[in-house]
């Protein structure tokens, strides 16, 4: 009985581990996208300021 419970627990932990990994991957992707978007926006705003001032 106890060994079966341990096996079930290990399986559950594997599932949550996969879930955490998937969440982590999506967070990394969202963060990379946001950094790219903010970087482009920042670069565009600097270019626009240059054009306004000159």
Domain range summary for the chain, segments of one domain joined by +: 1-54
Asked if residue 21 has pLDDT above 80, the reply is yes
DSSP letter assigned to residue 36? H
Cα dihedral 4, 8, 10, 14, rounded to 10, equals 150
12 pLDDT tier (thresholds 50, 70, 90): low
The mean pLDDT of the chain is: 82
Quote the percentage of the chain above a pLDDT of 90.
39
Alpha-carbon gap, residue 4 to 18, rounded angstroms? 21
């Amino acid at each position: 009985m106890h060994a079966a419970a341990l096996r079930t627990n290990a399986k559950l932990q594997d599932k949550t581990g996969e879930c955490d990994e998937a969440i982590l991957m999506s967070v990394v992707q969202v963060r990379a996208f946001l950094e790219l978007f903010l970087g482009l926006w920042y670069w565009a705003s600097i270019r626009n300021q240059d054009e306004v001032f000159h």
